[in-house]
Every structure is written in structure tokens, then in C-alpha cells.
Amino acid sequence: MSGPYRILFDRVLTRIDPEQAHHAAFSAIRAAGPVLGGKAGAGLRVTDPVVAFGLTFANRLGLAAGFDKNAVGIDALGALGFGHVEIGTVTGHAQPGNPKPRLFRLPEDRAVVNRMGFNNEGAEAVAQRLAARAARRLGRPGPILGVNIGKTKVVPDDDLAAVIGDYEFSTRALAPHADYLVVNVSSPNTPGLRNLQAVEKLEPILTAVRRTADQVTTRRVPLLVKIAPDLADEDVVDVAKMALAVELDGITATNTTISRAGLSSPAEKVEAAGAGGLSGAPLRERSLEVLRQLKAVVGDDLALVSVGGITTGADALARVEAGATLVQGYTAFIYEGALWPRRVLKGLAGR
């Protein structure tokens, strides 16, 4: 689909450093937030309610973690049409992330490579911002808020007790402000993080996060885990069985991939982008396949959030038909612009 934003992106924005372009675009969205959220923008919020893990979402489409790492634009993003916004990934302690440049576009594939490395202000700072937001809103409705938490880089992945303590620290700070929590063990950009997807390590982490969340809240905060598309099929099944055993509320599938198979971009451009997680259209088939594998194991007992390669309303509809309760996007939002959520929701509404 071609339009003014697509032309602007392809001819102008691709000439700007991707991380600088992200900050500029996000600043523009936040500046427009009061208008979008008020009378003039009331029509931007598309309502097609769905219930997942005990929460009522205005619609099935959410913005995946990674766009708003520090919870600075939740309501402006919700006003664009997203029924939920997942902030983060937030780590226990502030960290700068990996050296720049660390974000690269592959326009021929409608894809992005990132090795951001969980750059964020840390759990306590984000918790303070969420508390201030709640005080400002005075109970006014907004998008459902997901909080995605990950491991601080300096915590060694082979010290399970330290890893658990790090996730517990984040949970204590953030669970009171979250509508739901997601444990992220699937980013490829924190050394050793994906090793924590092994069931024998993942189960005690999730059990500790569940216990801690229950200790610091008066309500039960739903808990999900986010997995990688690069897991072997048997490992996907094992995680699904474990999620049922520890009574998680859902699974988010999938994160970015380290694979570069099947790309249309010139090999030299892919090589120049270097290491990191690939997101966008190339994930479409694998993400859908993982969703079907999870659904075959969990049935209707867990909510499944499908993310990865969702570009069109038809893509989103295919995920719902394959068993997803909710869908999320990120890279397509970057490529398609602020009206993208409405186009996807229009496709979903025709189901």
C-alpha cells in the first residue's frame, strides 16, 4: 500500500539515522497526544472489545515492547488506536545499552535489525513515571498497560539466584503499576539471556516473579513469558507445557530472530547491519508457525499474544484464526506510520 507516509519514509526518513528518526517520530506522537486523546482525535481509538487474562481490551491490537522503553508516551500511543501498549523492556537497574550505531533498516524486506541491548532508565525510575501518570489520569481510561521486564546486563546469566533476584527487584517496583507483566528471556542482545529459556531455568524465574507480584499487589497481575522464534519446535512445546504447569496467564510469541535466511536485501547491506535481532515482515511465517504449535498444546487454557511480521489486517486476522487472543506490532508501525493501527483494526473488524 502506497501513501504519503510511505513515500516520505522511503525517500526521506531512510536517509536519517534510524535511532534519531525513532526519537523524532516518537516526540511528534507525544506532542500530538493531547489532541489525539481529546475531542479532535476521539475517532482514532477503534473499539472492538476482547477479554484476555481477565482484562478487557478495547481491541486486539497492541504495540509491542521496545518502542516506548521508559513509559513516556503510553496515552499518546493509545490514542492512535492501540488497545494495549507494552512498555520496556525495563531492567532492574538503568543501563545505556549497546554502543551506537545499533539500529538498522532493511527496507527491501520491510525489516529492522536492532542490537539496542535493553537501554532504559531502570525499574525504579520507570515506576515513578507510571505512578505520576496514574495520578494525572485520575481514573480516566487509557490503553491496557503491559510492563515487559528483562535481566540487567551485568547480572551473570549462569548465576540463577542473582538472575532471580534481579527479576524480583523489577517486579517489586513495577507490578503495582502494571495491568499485566511479561518476563522477557528472548532478546538476542543481552549476552546469555536466551539461555534462560531452558525450562529448568525459566520455571524458577517465573515462579519467583509470580510470588513477588502477589506480595506487592492487592490484585492478581497477569503474568506472561515472551519467547524467541529461534527455539526448536520441541522447546516451544516444552515451554508451553511449563507455562501450563506454573499457571501462567499467557505466552507472547515471538521476539526478534537471529536468522537472516530468505532476505531480499543485498548481502552487503545485511552484513553491514551486523549482529542483532531481526524484526518485521521476514518473521511472518515462523511467528505464525510457533503460534500454531503453542495453541496445539495450551488450547484455550492460556491467552496467546502473537507478534512478529504482522503488517496488514489480513496478517493480524490470520493470527487470530490460528489461536491468538491479542496481536502486537512494532516494525510495521515504523514503516507504515501513525495510521497503520487503524488499517490493521479495520482488517480485523471484517473477520
How would you classify the pairing of strands 55-57 and 180-184? unpaired
For the chain, give the longest Cα–Cα distance.
54
Give the residue from 152, 100, 142 showing the smallest Cα distance to 121: 152
What are the grid coordinates assigned to 297, written together? 498444546
311 is in an annotated binding site: no
333 is in an annotated binding site: no
Q: What are phi and psi of 251, to 5 degrees?
A: -135, 135
Q: Would you report the helix, strand and coil content of the chain in percent, each value rounded to 5?
A: 45, 20, 35
98 is in an annotated binding site: no
226 is in an annotated binding site: yes
CB 184 within 8 A of CB 255: yes
309 is in an annotated binding site: yes
From the candidates 187, 265, 287, 306, give the one annotated as an active-site residue. Answer: 187
H helix and E strand count, the chain: 12, 13
Helix (H, G, I), strand (E, B) or coil at 324: coil
- Helices 313-321 and 340-349 pack at an angle, to 10 degrees, of 50
> Strand locations in the chain, DSSP E?
50-52, 55-57, 61-63, 84-91, 103-106, 111-114, 144-150, 180-184, 223-227, 250-253, 277-280, 303-307, 326-329
65 is in an annotated binding site: yes
Please say if 265 is a catalytic residue. no
79 is in an annotated binding site: no
Give the residue from 284, 286, 298 showing the smallest Cα distance to 250: 298
Binding-site positions for substrate read: 69, 114-118, 184, 189, 255-256
Binding-site positions read: 65-69, 89, 114-118, 148, 184, 189, 226, 254-256, 280, 309, 330-331
Catalytically active residues, by annotation: 187
Binding-site positions for FMN read: 65-69, 89, 148, 184, 226, 254, 280, 309, 330-331
